[in-house]
């Protein structure tokens, strides 16, 4: 250290405090990085790596980025999972005595980024914390770009608490997560979190946080009495998780965070429970394949006009309501819009001009907003009187009530309108942002600047006439100030009082004493004018910051109206209907349609189906039918229609009466979870176990092909026991698709189970999927027919047909005499001791044919599977 230059000593002292960050060290117009930071950043940002003298003739790796373009570089590093510490110059280098004072003003992390260009405008960027105690857990999360702060807690044993935490995190999808050392060491939990959520992880020490200190910290930030105000009494786990977040924010953001002024405490009991698997299987936010928004429920329902509305829609889809009155409130407003298309479109038009008020206020609080942000705020506020008038004149009691609560914020609008020019520059440090009439002192400066320019023009004209130099010009640049420029062809005419300043290839630059005097006056005035404009801007910004709660309230109203209008727009375009709601546990849907699939299909080719479930004789729909026939689509359709109704949306059906459900569970698909070291069957059983433990009689359960991950007899036994237990003990409404036709015997034996099948039309060897569900059952899987549709080789299809005929008829597969004799001998040897070997192998082949899932097979995969079946059949 003693051999380092003073500046490098300063750098090292600061870097040692932020060892886990890439340090952006401000030097003039650049942020510089040194040593390992430079090597890493140059690689990740693809910028030039160079060197700098650090003392005693030694050099250190160095790279840098311009300060005015730093946001994009910082965003790249954050997306790659790094943290960036911003070290600024805290004083003007021109007046500094010795080394310029510097320090870190902010640490930017994946969960604390506020650069709007780096954020998805219709998604929150949550920083979350988890605290797990001996008898429960607390989960809190904050979006510092909007000021939203949420918390919830759960009481239960460690395992149940961990399940609660994982499900909440799946809903929140935080970009950064704070967890304890103890949780970090739980390999199984960490694998689930990493595989399903994959946030940036920050580990904290539990010993840092005790309950009383946490209460003090909350009251210090949110104000005295805030524990009681936000209903946090006896919410100890929430309090500690809130404190963990606040501590991290204070450590990294180093600012007051005034826009984070409320904590919203919620109970998961007030919303429909959707676990991670259900959200994935129903493709609520993104598709299973491709992880794309298009094809998801969010994509379908998102006709919002504002970024705030888009974020609220996502939140509503993650938290459907379970209170009938609250759902009906939303549905009534959607109905008001649908019944008055002019009103619906007028509201949408008014919303289009409203920018992201929440995130603009976040920038204002951080002090990172510029004059253009204030113009966006002004233009947004300009739409509020129009929106208020539309709603209060609508004739709808609900909309009139909402409209009456809109604060048009006229004072803030006029403040910005009177002060900020319509098209200000990006920088707030270079002037040109404040209207001349707004400030008398500024007006005097500008008038002086105009006079100065007139003086310069007069000087130029005077010197041209005096010297006879036609090309003479009075010009300015930031390095040399004002000067007189003369081209070389006129140098002989230059007077003796001209003092040479600079020589160029084709001209010479000079100054004269009176120009130098005026330069000092003009530049001094311009500098004072720029400083004055910046101070005025800061004053305006602070006045707006003081009104943050008013603006946040309006933002919430605008967001709600936007989402409900979006529901109406989608309902009108897609011929949806208003669902009725009941507390009797009945789901009665007439001609229901899968909302996303019908949208993706060309023309009106989707086949609608009815659904009837209740709590007594129609609790369980046992659905049989071949793959590709539409069983999974139908079951998802029922779940999505139910979910849509409970978020307050109209539904894709001719009519619908929806009994409110407290939870939706899905077990669909059978992909191996190799990353967690579990087989297909283990994953399936874990998911079924979770459903059985957490479902209630008010839940909706979707189960697709339970038991297919193991042998036929084991699978059938498990599927039988599962459906029997759910129907008899839990009594939840259940849709259960299966290839085990033996299960259809349960209808008539167990009250509540009804058989349904997907209709197939057969013409010779050809089959057509009618996609229509009907009462009854089928005893055929149509595996070979489906394989034919997939384009499997004709010889293989024919051979598979012969094998299947033999197996179903309990005949030997006539392959060759040797194989036939061998099989018959083995049967005679073992028939008294175990299952008939031929029958066993036949069952194995039947099981493979039954479980062909052509939807998930490429033609080549299907061919390989059938080839293996044929080879096995040769041994029969």
The predicted-structure confidence for 263-293, as pLDDT tens digits, reads as follows 999 999 999 999 999 999 999 999 988 889 9
pLDDT at 835 over 50: no
- Alpha-carbon distance of 670 to 193, in angstroms, equals 20
Q: Average pLDDT of the chain?
A: 88
Q: Which of 125-134, 306-315, 348-357, 759-768 has the lowest mean pLDDT?
A: 759-768
pLDDT band (50, 70, 90) for residue 628:
confident
pLDDT number for residue 797: 63
- What average pLDDT does the segment 75-97 reach? 91
User: Burial of 181 by CB count in 10 Å (0-12 exposed, 13-18 middle, 19+ buried)?
Assistant: exposed
pLDDT at 101 over 50: yes
Q: Which residues contact 785 (CB under 8 A, 6 or more apart)?
A: 626, 765, 766, 767
> What share of the chain has pLDDT > 70, as a percent?
86
pLDDT number for residue 770: 75
- In the chain, the domains with their CATH numbers are 6-108 (3.40.1170.10), 119-270 (3.30.420.110), 302-409+547-570 (1.10.1420.10), 436-518 (1.10.1420.10), 580-775 (3.40.50.300), 787-873 (no CATH)
pLDDT at 656 over 90: yes
pLDDT in tens, 131-168: 999 899 999 999 999 999 999 999 999 989 999 999 99
pLDDT number for residue 813: 45
- What average pLDDT does the segment 790-814 reach? 61
pLDDT at 175 over 90: yes
- Alpha-carbon distance of 362 to 373, in angstroms, equals 11
- Alpha-carbon distance of 842 to 806, in angstroms, equals 9
User: Burial of 112 by CB count in 10 Å (0-12 exposed, 13-18 middle, 19+ buried)?
Assistant: buried
Asked if 848 contacts 869 with a C-beta cutoff of 8 angstroms, the reply is yes
Residue tagged 């930017």 (tokens): 108
- What average pLDDT does the segment 705-731 reach? 86
- What average pLDDT does the segment 248-254 reach? 95
- Alpha-carbon distance of 621 to 730, in angstroms, equals 15
pLDDT number for residue 809: 62
pLDDT at 634 over 80: yes
Question: Hey, how many other C-beta atoms are within 10 angstroms of the C-beta on 424?
Answer: 21
Q: Which residues contact 629 (CB under 8 A, 6 or more apart)?
A: 758, 760, 769, 771, 782
pLDDT in tens, 673-701: 433 445 677 778 888 888 999 999 999 99
pLDDT number for residue 626: 77
> What share of the chain has pLDDT > 90, as a percent?
69
pLDDT band (50, 70, 90) for residue 830:
very low
- What average pLDDT does the segment 693-718 reach? 86
pLDDT number for residue 854: 54
């Amino acid at each position: 250290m003693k051999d380092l230059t003073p500046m490098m000593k300063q750098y090292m002292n600061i870097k040692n405090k932020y060892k886990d960050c890439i340090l952006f060290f401000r030097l003039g117009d650049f942020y510089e990085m040194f040593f390992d930071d430079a090597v890493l950043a140059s690689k990740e940002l693809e910028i030039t790596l160079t060197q700098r003298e650090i003392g005693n003739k030694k050099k250190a790796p160095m790279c840098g980025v311009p300060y005015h373009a730093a946001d994009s570089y910082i965003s790249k590093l954050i997306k790659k999972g790094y943290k960036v510490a911003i070290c600024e110059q805290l004083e003007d280098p021109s007046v500094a005595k010795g080394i310029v004072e510097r320090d870190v003003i902010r640490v930017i992390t994946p969960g604390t980024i506020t650069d709007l260009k780096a954020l998805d405008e219709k998604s929150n960027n949550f920083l979350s914390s988890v605290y797990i105690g001996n008898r429960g857990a607390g989960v809190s999360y904050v979006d510092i770009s909007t000021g939203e702060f949420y918390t919830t807690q759960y009481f239960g044993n460690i395992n149940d608490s961990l399940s609660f935490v994982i499900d909440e995190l799946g809903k929140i999808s935080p970009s950064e997560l704070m967890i304890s050392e103890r949780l970090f060491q739980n390999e199984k939990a960490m694998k689930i979190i990493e595989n399903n959520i994959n946030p940036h992880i920050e580990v904290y020490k539990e010993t840092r946080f005790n309950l009383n200190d946490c209460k003090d910290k909350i009251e210090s930030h949110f104000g005295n009495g805030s524990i009681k105000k936000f209903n946090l009494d006896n919410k100890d786990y929430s309090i500690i998780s809130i404190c963990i977040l606040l501590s991290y924010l204070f450590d990294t953001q180093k600012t007051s965070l005034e826009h984070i002024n409320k904590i919203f405490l919620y109970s998961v009991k007030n919303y429909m429970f959707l676990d991670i698997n259900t959200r994935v299987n129903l493709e609520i936010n993104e598709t299973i394949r491709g992880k794309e928004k298009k094809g998801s429920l969010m994509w379908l329902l998102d006709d919002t006009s504002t970024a705030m509305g888009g974020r609220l829609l996502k939140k509503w889809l993650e938290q459907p309501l379970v209170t009938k009155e609250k759902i009906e409130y939303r549905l009534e407003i959607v109905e008001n819009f649908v019944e008055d298309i002019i009103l619906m479109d007028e509201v949408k038009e008014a919303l289009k001009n409203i920018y992201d008020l929440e995130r603009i206020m976040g920038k204002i609080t951080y002090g990172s907003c510029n004059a253009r942000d204030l113009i966006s705020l002004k233009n947004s506020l300009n739409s509020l009187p129009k929106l208020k008038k539309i709603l209060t004149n609508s004739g709808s009691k609900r909309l009139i009530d909402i409209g009456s609560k809109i604060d048009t914020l006229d004072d803030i609008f006029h403040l910005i309108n009177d002060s900020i020019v319509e098209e200000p520059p990006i920088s707030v440090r270079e002037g040109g942002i404040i209207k001349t009439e707004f400030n008398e002192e500024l007006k005097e400066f500008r008038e002086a600047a105009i006079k100065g320019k007139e003086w310069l023009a007069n000087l130029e004209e005077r010197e041209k006439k005096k010297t006879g130099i036609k090309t003479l010009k009075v010009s300015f640049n930031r390095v040399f100030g004002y000067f007189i420029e003369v081209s070389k062809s006129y140098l002989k005419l230059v007077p003796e009082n001209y003092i040479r300043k600079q020589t160029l290839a084709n001209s010479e630059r000079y100054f004269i004493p009176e120009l130098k005097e005026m330069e000092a006056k003009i530049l001094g005035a311009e500098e004072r004018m720029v400083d004055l404009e910046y101070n005025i801007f800061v004053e305006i910004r602070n006045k707006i910051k003081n009104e943050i709660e008013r603006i946040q309230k309006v933002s919430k109203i605008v967001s709600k109206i936007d989402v409900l209008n979006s529901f109406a727009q989608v309902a009108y375009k897609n011929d949806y209907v208003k669902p009725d709601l009941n507390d009797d546990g009945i789901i009665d849907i007439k001609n229901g349609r899968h909302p996303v699939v019908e949208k993706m299909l060309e023309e009106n080719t989707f086949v609608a189906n009815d659904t009837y479930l209740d709590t007594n004789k129609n609790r369980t729909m046992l659905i049989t039918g071949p793959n590709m026939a539409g069983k999974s689509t139908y079951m998802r359709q029922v779940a999505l229609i139910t979910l849509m109704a409970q978020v307050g949306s109209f539904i894709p059906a001719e009519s619908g009466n929806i009994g409110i459900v407290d939870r939706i569970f899905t077990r669909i698909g059978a992909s191996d979870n190799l990353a967690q070291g579990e087989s297909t069957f283990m994953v399936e059983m874990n998911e079924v176990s979770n459903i059985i433990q957490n479902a209630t009689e008010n839940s909706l359960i979707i189960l697709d092909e339970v038991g297919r991950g193991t042998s036929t007899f084991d699978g059938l036994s498990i599927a039988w026991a599962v459906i029997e237990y759910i129907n008899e003990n839990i009594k939840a409404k259940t849709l259960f698709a299966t290839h085990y036709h033996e299960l259809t015997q349960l209808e008539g034996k167990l009250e509540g189970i009804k058989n349904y099948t997907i209709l197939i039309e057969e013409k010779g060897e050809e089959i057509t999927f009618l996609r229509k569900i009907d009462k009854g059952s089928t005893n055929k899987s149509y595996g070979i027919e489906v394989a034919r549709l997939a384009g499997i080789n004709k010889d293989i299809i024919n051979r598979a047909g012969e094998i299947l005929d033999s197996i179903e008829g309990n005949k030997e597969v006539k392959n060759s005499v040797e194989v036939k004799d061998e099989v018959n001998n083995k049967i005679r040897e073992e028939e008294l001791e175990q299952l008939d070997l031929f029958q066993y192998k036949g069952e194995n082949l039947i099981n493979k044919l039954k479980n062909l899932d052509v939807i998930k097979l490429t033609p080549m995969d299907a061919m390989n599977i059938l080839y293996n079946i044929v080879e096995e059949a040769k041994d029969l």
